[in-house]
A = this chain, B = another copy of it.
């Protein structure tokens, strides 16, 4: 497995493709924004997405939304009609599970295996090759893809059949949103009642309140260095992307008629924050401002 096609070279896809080049793969790249192609040093720019699909072993995509994924694979001149038999398809985009299943089924009708493999770890993880992959699809196909995925990230989980990677991603990110908002709320309650945010964080981290944000992504300024809260919430995982993922979670819940009151409230508190503070392009831990507006100025 030597030759890879890669479509979608944004903040995530660009460094992912770069890591594949650095690991010795031949990588054909394409993006509608042409200068993103030249930014992948060692990649081979192509004239069209379809061109990346020829003569390769693995095709990888990293796109913004389900409609782009559907169009790329399944549209006229779609990848599933262009690539050679036996090509393994891997979509790393975060999209709704229903579209992931639909596209994988179309690929299967063309005798192609497809994996949905959304990632967590953000742009820092994409740069460092330390992403986590949550993979849906056949286990054999995942084993076939494992060496390539491990170039881009060390943690590779098999979530289940086609679409299961997307489901795992939206569940994880909904829970992340809930506990980030909850953590900001608990820290503000403590500070409002005289506690030091750092002391309270340390206590909760080692108690039953412990969670990922308290461990590595504390939202309260002054508690941790090297987190978005330490630099005015710039960089990181944007509020706009969190509300997008929460939108996918709500959509997924609607299709299964599941109730998600906590996720729905978290989503709407992010929206209130976004509207009141113009916070769409800030890191999602800036939700702390909703509880401590005096931190803003």
Contact = CB atoms under 8 A, between A and B. Distances in A.
Contact of A168 (B195, B249, B254, B271): B195
Interface residues on A, range: 35 or more
A206 B171 contact: no
Interface string A153-194: 001011111011001101111111011011101111110111
B293 A185 contact: no
Given A178-B178, A194-B161, A253-B189, A172 B259 contact: no
A261 B268 contact: yes
Assembly stoichiometry (copies)? 4
Given A185-B260, A210-B212, A211-B212, A193 B268 contact: no
Interface string A259-284: 11111111111011011100000000
Tell me the dominant secondary structure on chain A's binding face.
helix
Given A182-B175, A189-B258, A256-B189, A159 B209 contact: no
A204 interface: yes
A110 interface: no
Contacts of A293: 275-276
Interface of A: 97, 120, 132, 134, 155, 157-161, 163-164, 167-168, 170-176, 178-179, 181-183, 185-190, 192-196, 199-200, 202-204, 206-213, 215, 217, 243, 247, 249-250, 252-269, 271-272, 274-276, 290-291, 293
